[in-house]
Amino acid sequence: MEQTDYNRLGEKKYQLTLPNGMQVLLVPKTELSKTYAIFMTNYGAINRMFTPLGEEEIVEVPDGIAHFLEHKLFEKEDRDVFSDFLSQGASPNAFTSFTKTAYLFSTVENAYQNVNTLLDFVQEPYFSDESVEKEKGIISQEIHMYDDQADWQAFIGTIKNMFAHHPVRIDILGTDDTIDRITKEDLYTCYETFYHPSNMTLCIAGNFNEEEMAEVIKNNQAAKTFKASETIVRQFPEETKQVAMEEKTITLPVSTPKVTIGIKESSEVIGREEFLERDTLQHMLLDYFFSQGGPFYEELYEAGMIDDSFEFSTTVEESFGFSIISTNTQDTKACGSKMIDLLLQTRNKKLTDEDVRLMKKRYIGDVLTAMNAPESIAVQLAHYHFMDIDFFSILDYAESLTTEKVNQFLQQWIKEEALTMHRIEKE
Amino acid sequence: MEALREKKTERNGIHFHFIPTNKFKTVNMVIKCKTSLDKNTVTKRALLPYVLEKATQNYPNEKSLMKALDELYGADLAISGAKRGDSHVLTFRLEVANDKFLTHENNLIGEAFQLLHEILYKPYTEDGIFSEKIVEREKSNLKNNLVSVYDDKLAYANMRLIDHMCENERFSIHKNGYVEDLPDITAAALFEYYQQVLAEDDIDIYITGDIDTADLEAQAERIFHLQANPQHQMDKKESVPKHSPNTVVETQDIQQAKLHMGFRTDVTYEHPDYFALQVFNGMFGGFPSSKLFTEVREKESLAYYVASQVENYKGLLFVFSGIAPDSFRQTEKIIMQQKQAMDEGEFTEAETEEAKALLISGVKETLDNAQGIVEMFYERIVHGLKRTPEELIEGIAQVTKEDVKRVSEGVYLDTVYLLTSEEGEK
């Protein structure tokens, strides 16, 4: 087991790779009561075309299947795994994103036993025709819940504006039609391919002993056999740097219109260095320009174009990346055009040492805050680990950024062809 | 679990609470200002956070205030208003990175403390009142916020249920105020009201993190001078005559119907059955092993989410669920059947013990979160109860199956609220 000390942060991390390929990251924090564990597979909604384990041909599976699979793993032949965790004092949960599916629990009791339960339930699937059918009603209500949320509609609408082909544009949950087509056999195909231990990372932070925990995990895995691992072939259609659509307007029964600007940040597979650079700089720059008191925020605020609903975020993944800026506003066209104007100005901006010094301070404070809770430590460690990046080292990376480097990134950041506007008008 | 200890001091009518712990890499400073919920002042109270966050005497615009926060490593400032039973609480929270984890820093906590004091006591003024421009601008911001609740169907349905259920009670006052009050609020009137808040509200200040209590106490003495004369508004309990349940149906152009049901428990913090009620709620609809989750979601596939939640200040319990518009009657019936099953004690000792263990874990987990710690310690002030987290855990541990059954029998349905589509209503 490899140990890394982060003296300044007062943290220690233990890392091991099991014979079956599973990656394990442990961060003991005995000052806490709770333990949080997350078991994550490098598989999400975008993986709709791939070569199944042991086969040669690419298959295409129905949209929403990664999320459907996440729901169904909790159900076993004789019981629901939720109750196993609850009776051991743990609260389980799971989520599916564009690129990952994760199973997790938090507990103050029986940490080791709950880790066994977590590994066992994810590694022992049981799907039946009957239970697959029953789940469709539940997921249909989950889909319709989002139908009524204008913010979500703006988010996915903007992604569809940006990406013409990349499957980030499909609905994570699927639609009533696509989930209706999902069969037990589809679930097993996806499961066998993407839930191989060599495609998974287990990350645990909280109150436990690292040696004891490592033993529990090793013993658990040693008792199971898996097929030989293969490199998974994931296929993505070609995607250009240009947005699919510069502008789109939809109508919904909302109280206030809404405009969203999308920046198509990347559209092809990027490496570790570029990932780290984009992840840090996109965050820092959006924060600098658009957070309260920032120069672009001020202009929009002074013009009376934005209110409290104004928000922005950036997403960096291996095969795609985007930033989103959105607000409720009376005149969506004027506000959206203004935001695009401001973004295009960044090409001619030059930040000073003082600007960069403050940007870095703010970013470092944010990362430290994310290190307050075992939940976010474990999730972030796992998230970055898939890109071979150490979450705890991000502070050092941010500190090492020079003004020159920031300006270099800034001046090539925004290109007109990569911007889109999505508007929601009142019905 | 190492017990958290709270060091309390009082200075000029303000209560300071220092809670040292090495669990966090940041320090949280929280100021709570509490008074009775009042329809006549609630919109002003709701507007105050918007105005106070914009500027102070030394940082006269948003840009300079944000720069000051950036210098403190992007310290997170949040001011908000909330309803706690019949009280309204303004919360000023500043979270700052702890010097200990940073090179080249040694007084971030002190500087942050000073800044928080400035935000509270030295707001930006022009001619002795708040800036007209800021107030007008933020009135429109608050108005947008009030209007947009319509777009969040879950929040909207919650609000409408309480509007109907508690129509004649103080609790129905909206914590974010009312659009119709806004035109009459001037910068002068708002400033005058804020002076009253500072003078008459109950003010409590919490600081938690890896802190030196003695040092912060000395700083508090240096920084906080103003005298507060809290009026200690204690509210009379409003009693509502029991009546047969009302059903209210509203329609909108929506895909998913929201079924929200309001029950009365008549059990609040100081009630002997308080602990049993928490266990009841977990078993009825609070946990994923609950009757509601198992029956409505897992067995009948009627909903993605269905849950119950207790309101412990007033003694209320809410059930909420998102369903297909045409399954209203079926879902309502199943929910009431689960309540009946709880009344009749159709659950095991083992299930009771499991719910208790989960609640106790929940308390311990809350104490691993800085804001959780502050809220848990502040809760005791709001109720005038001296219950420590350890006593809370002990109380839950004592609950028996019989207690849960008894408390269930005392919980009764008051109002059913359904937000549905036009077709769903037919």
Distance (Å) from the alpha carbon of B254 to chain A's nearest alpha carbon: 6
Tell me the torsion sign for CA atoms A244, A249, A251, A254: positive
Catalytic residue numbers of A read 70
Distance (Å) from the alpha carbon of B138 to chain A's nearest alpha carbon: 9
- Among B62, B64, B144, select the one facing A307 at the smallest CB separation: B144
Is residue B1 a part of any domain in this protein? Answer: no
B232 φ/ψ sector (left φ>0, alpha ψ -120 to 50, else beta): left
* B114 and B57 co-located in one domain: yes
Write down the mean pLDDT value for chain B.
93
Is residue B238 a part of any domain in this protein? Answer: no
Short-list A72, A398, A391, CA closest to A203: A391
With CB atoms and an 8 Å threshold, state whether A294 touches B95: no
Is residue B229 a part of any domain in this protein? Answer: no
pLDDT at residue B242, rounded to an integer: 86
Short-list B215, B203, B228, CA closest to B27: B215
- Among A33, A86, A363, select the one facing B289 at the smallest CB separation: A86
Which backbone phi and psi does B307 adopt, to 5 degrees?
-160, 165
With CB atoms and an 8 Å threshold, state whether B301 touches A362: no
Tell me how far apart the alpha carbons of residues A326 and A311 are, in angstroms, rounded to a whole number: 6
Tell me how far apart the alpha carbons of residues A323 and A287 are, in angstroms, rounded to a whole number: 12
With CB atoms and an 8 Å threshold, state whether A144 touches B324: yes
Res B233 pLDDT > 80: no
Please tell me which residue of chain A has the smallest CA distance to B351. A87
* B204 and B259 co-located in one domain: no
With CB atoms and an 8 Å threshold, state whether B357 touches A368: no
Q: C-alpha distances in angstroms, A39 versus A203, A400, B48, B263?
A: 6, 32, 44, 39
Q: Please name the residue that has the structure tokens 């017990």.
A: B3
Please tell me which residue of chain B has the smallest CA distance to A362. B74
User: For residue B272, what is the enclosing H or E element?
Assistant: none
- Among B141, B255, B305, select the one facing A148 at the smallest CB separation: B255
With CB atoms and an 8 Å threshold, state whether A369 touches B95: yes
Residues of chain B with pLDDT > 90, as a percent, come to 84
Task: Report the C-alpha dihedral over residues A241, A242, A244, A246, rounded to 10 degrees.
Answer: 140
Distance (Å) from the alpha carbon of A276 to chain B's nearest alpha carbon: 21
- Among B65, B75, B368, select the one facing A33 at the smallest CB separation: B368
* B216 and B101 co-located in one domain: yes
* B407 and B302 co-located in one domain: yes
Give Cβ neighbours of residue A31 (< 8 Å, ≥ 6 apart): B2, B21, B22, B23
The residue ranking higher by pLDDT, B237 or B377, is: B377
With CB atoms and an 8 Å threshold, state whether B368 touches A253: no
With CB atoms and an 8 Å threshold, state whether B252 touches A253: yes
Q: Which two tokens stand for residue B194?
A: 């804020």
Mutate to test the interface with B, among A142, A302, A368, A376 (most CBs of B within 10 A): A368
Is residue B127 a part of any domain in this protein? Answer: yes
Which residues does chain B have within 8 Å of residue A357's beta carbon, measured at their own beta carbons?
none
* Helix, strand, coil shares, percent, chain B, to 5: 45, 20, 30
CB atoms within 10 A of CB A153: 19
Is residue B231 a part of any domain in this protein? Answer: no
CB pairs below 8 Å between A and B: how many?
174
Mutate to test the interface with A, among B301, B348, B354, B390 (most CBs of A within 10 A): B301
Instruction: Tell me the β-bridge partners of B259.
Output: B321, B418
Distance (Å) from the alpha carbon of B346 to chain A's nearest alpha carbon: 18
With CB atoms and an 8 Å threshold, state whether A369 touches B25: yes
Which residues does chain A have within 8 Å of residue B100's beta carbon, measured at their own beta carbons?
10
CB atoms within 10 A of CB B284: 28
Give Cβ neighbours of residue B391 (< 8 Å, ≥ 6 apart): none
Which residues does chain B have within 8 Å of residue A253's beta carbon, measured at their own beta carbons?
252-254
* B219 and B304 co-located in one domain: no
Mutate to test the interface with A, among B108, B139, B151, B421 (most CBs of A within 10 A): B151
Please tell me which residue of chain A has the smallest CA distance to B28. A369
3-class state of residue A4 by DSSP: strand
Question: Mean pLDDT over residues B79-99, rounded?
Answer: 94
Q: Does this complex have an ipTM over 0.90?
A: no
* B301 and B384 co-located in one domain: yes
* B34 and B180 co-located in one domain: yes
With CB atoms and an 8 Å threshold, state whether B147 touches A138: no
Res B1 pLDDT > 80: no
* B172 and B37 co-located in one domain: yes
- Among B289, B298, B304, select the one facing A145 at the smallest CB separation: B304
* B207 and B136 co-located in one domain: yes
Tell me which residue range forms the domain holding B396. 246-425
Distance (Å) from the alpha carbon of A329 to chain B's nearest alpha carbon: 9
Contact present, A390 and A384 (Cβ < 8 Å): yes
Q: How confident is the model at residue B44 (pLDDT cuts 50, 70, 90)?
A: very high
Distance (Å) from the alpha carbon of A43 to chain B's nearest alpha carbon: 23
* B253 and B191 co-located in one domain: no
Q: How confident is the model at residue B244 (pLDDT cuts 50, 70, 90)?
A: very high
pLDDT at residue B224, rounded to an integer: 85
- Among A8, A141, A254, select the one facing B303 at the smallest CB separation: A141
Is residue B313 a part of any domain in this protein? Answer: yes
DSSP A41-71: ES--TT--EEPPTT--S-EE--TTHHHHHHH
Tell me how far apart the alpha carbons of residues A229 and A192 are, in angstroms, rounded to a whole number: 10
Q: Please name the residue that has the structure tokens 């266990």.
A: B279
Tell me the torsion sign for CA atoms A342, A343, A344, A347: positive
Q: Which two tokens stand for residue B51?
A: 């105005």
Count up the domains in chain B and report the number.
2
pTM over 0.90: yes
Distance (Å) from the alpha carbon of A417 to chain B's nearest alpha carbon: 31
Is residue B199 a part of any domain in this protein? Answer: yes
pLDDT at residue A231, rounded to an integer: 87
Short-list B28, B32, B3, B27, CA closest to B15: B32
* B192 and B328 co-located in one domain: no
Which residues does chain B have within 8 Å of residue A34's beta carbon, measured at their own beta carbons?
361, 364-365, 368
Give Cβ neighbours of residue B389 (< 8 Å, ≥ 6 apart): B3, B4, B363, B367, B376
- Among B23, B76, B137, select the one facing A31 at the smallest CB separation: B23
Q: How confident is the model at residue B46 (pLDDT cuts 50, 70, 90)?
A: very high
Which residues does chain A have within 8 Å of residue B1's beta carbon, measured at their own beta carbons?
33, 108
Which residues does chain B have within 8 Å of residue A32's beta carbon, measured at their own beta carbons?
23, 368
Distance (Å) from the alpha carbon of A399 to chain B's nearest alpha carbon: 11
Contact present, B115 and B72 (Cβ < 8 Å): yes
Q: Please name the residue that has the structure tokens 């005298």.
A: B227
CATH number where B409 lies: 3.30.830.10
| Alpha helices, DSSP H, located in A148-247 | 150-162, 176-181, 184-194, 210-222
With CB atoms and an 8 Å threshold, state whether B75 touches A365: yes
pLDDT in tens, chain A (427 residues): 999 999 889 999 999 999 999 999 999 999 999 999 999 999 999 999 999 988 999 999 999 999 999 999 999 998 889 999 999 999 999 999 999 999 999 999 999 999 999 999 999 999 999 999 999 999 999 999 999 999 999 999 999 999 999 999 999 999 999 999 999 999 999 999 999 999 999 999 999 999 999 999 999 999 999 988 888 999 999 999 999 999 999 999 999 999 999 999 999 999 999 999 999 999 999 999 999 989 999 999 999 999 999 999 999 999 999 999 999 999 999 999 999 999 999 999 999 999 999 999 999 999 999 999 999 999 999 999 999 999 999 999 999 999 999 999 999 999 999 999 999 999 8
Question: Mean pLDDT over residues B99-127, rounded?
Answer: 92
Q: Kindly give the interhelix angle for A353-370 and A374-385, rounded to the nearest 10 degrees.
A: 110
CB atoms within 10 A of CB A296: 22
Is residue B239 a part of any domain in this protein? Answer: no
Res B426 pLDDT > 70: no
Tell me how far apart the alpha carbons of residues A100 and A38 are, in angstroms, rounded to a whole number: 12
Please tell me which residue of chain A has the smallest CA distance to B77. A292
Which residues does chain A have within 8 Å of residue B151's beta carbon, measured at their own beta carbons?
149-151, 254-256
- Among A9, A82, A141, select the one facing B256 at the smallest CB separation: A141
Note the pLDDT tens digit of each residue in B54-73.
999 999 999 999 999 999 99
User: For residue B65, what is the enclosing H or E element?
Assistant: helix B62-71
| Structural domain ending residue among the three candidates B170, B188, B223 | B223
Contact present, B237 and B68 (Cβ < 8 Å): no
* B175 and B280 co-located in one domain: no
CA-angle at B35, arms to B34 and B40, nearest 5°: 135
With CB atoms and an 8 Å threshold, state whether A256 touches B148: yes
With CB atoms and an 8 Å threshold, state whether B304 touches A142: yes
